[in-house]
Structure 1
């Protein structure tokens, strides 16, 4: 059977750690010939690149990895990431927007600066990477796929996630708008609403904003219906499926990927 990402070039923002790295590794295992990852730390990017290459080798795939060091919050860096990917590989077949801001703020205590940070990283950056990727796909007359990592919190979320919810709900709308606009270009654009996920970044968030101790993950996992938080490798498999031809004609879908059901009550 043909590998899901065979010979694809994939760009993953936030691909140097956590969920983004898991997605990049899954793409390599599924046959991607080129993977570009974007992160702020050069040393971390190089370590991630080697892990992605190893994932490909484990599946008898030779994957060329391009680590791009960029602060996506700076004007022009998102566009540069797409341009460098095209310069290296000649194209972008699939794009994953996994980078984003997750810091806390309520409606009453969120500053304009914090709101701007969330809007920049969670809407503006995906907008600009999608713009560059879609322009490349249309220039080549080639089909392509895009997957935006959104969040279950876009349905409303907790009070302390006001700027996060506002920006991610906007990304959901952008996803649908772009999918509709480019459906006849055969460019499929979808979003994945992920729930609470066990990543190193989430551990930092819990400790920084919620005073969590070292046992927070076991306690949180025990309270979930499935006895665990979302796992990056499982989410990565879902992302790769949605990027691949195996997901058929699906576009403009915002899929809830979680163990809790919005709108349902005890």
Structure 2
């Protein structure tokens, strides 16, 4: 622990599982003054909040279905009510239900837009208004995806929503740089999470050895790791990342544009 987030109040959307929970734990390890995590699973959310509290960091679980804009925006106001202010936001929630250009229904498309783009938009909006009212700077990190560059054919609505979030990240960063609100994004590649395990089994017929096979199929011999990504996200949230804003950073072992 180096205290990167000392005296910082952090909101992590999608903080009950996987990468979001990992980011919340890393924020606690780096001395955050308070952490709010959101999600739909009450059991998982309360478990993460209790774990963070045991680490010595005041924490709260805010149940929310991010597909509901009102519930999404309320996570900002409820965090401020609980801790008195909000300094940093991580939008880590994401829907990855499969769909191609030819079989995606309007309903599935709308679900992806609601969770992956609309919710981050209005969470950011609420946080930015709060920071401007306080006259305080702040930091936002959006978890995006390498697939926003083009992606797989079976991820069409996911790609559409996440590409929108990449553009939004740059737009908001430009709009609020004079407010000293830094906004960045991380395009994560294939990452080993419990959510990915469920996806591989549900949509791709993967067996118990899928992760071993996946690790041998990538250049570095392992998929992206939650703890490594979480450390980088917390760095971006901290003053140690300096003046960087509007960056959407590829966190992956495959190089976009590279060809063998």
TM-score normalised by L of structure 2: 0.98
Whether 2:50 is the aligned partner of 1:50: answer yes
CA distance in 1, matches of 2:29, 2:87: 16
For residues 37-91 of structure 1, what are the alpha-carbon distances to aligned partners after superposition, in whole Å with 9 as ceiling and x for unaligned?
001011111111122234xx3xxxx310010111111230111111100001111
Moved more, 68-77 or 214-223: 68-77
CA distance in 2, matches of 1:210, 1:2: 41
Structure 1 residues 235-254: aligned runs within 5 Å: 235-254=229-248
Structure 1 residues 121-160: aligned runs within 5 Å: 121-160=115-154
- SS of equivalent to 1:67: strand
Unaligned runs of 5+ in 2: none
Aligned residues: 260
Partner of 2:255: 261
CA distance in 1, matches of 2:213, 2:101: 29
- SS of equivalent to 2:208: coil
Structure 1 residues 163-202: aligned runs within 5 Å: 163-202=157-196
Q: Is the 8 A contact 2:187 2:251 kept in 1?
A: yes
- Closer/same/farther in 2, CA of residues 262 and 144 from structure 1, 3 Å limit: same
Unaligned runs of 5+ in 1: none
- SS of equivalent to 1:204: helix
For residues 69-123 of structure 1, what are the alpha-carbon distances to aligned partners after superposition, in whole Å with 9 as ceiling and x for unaligned?
1111123011111110000111110000000111110000000000000001111
CA distance in 2, matches of 1:170, 1:240: 23
Runs (4+) of structure 1 exceeding 4 A deviation are: none
CA distance in 1, matches of 2:91, 2:135: 22
CA distance in 2, matches of 1:75, 1:5: 28
CA distance in 2, matches of 1:202, 1:84: 30
TM-score normalised by L of structure 1: 0.96
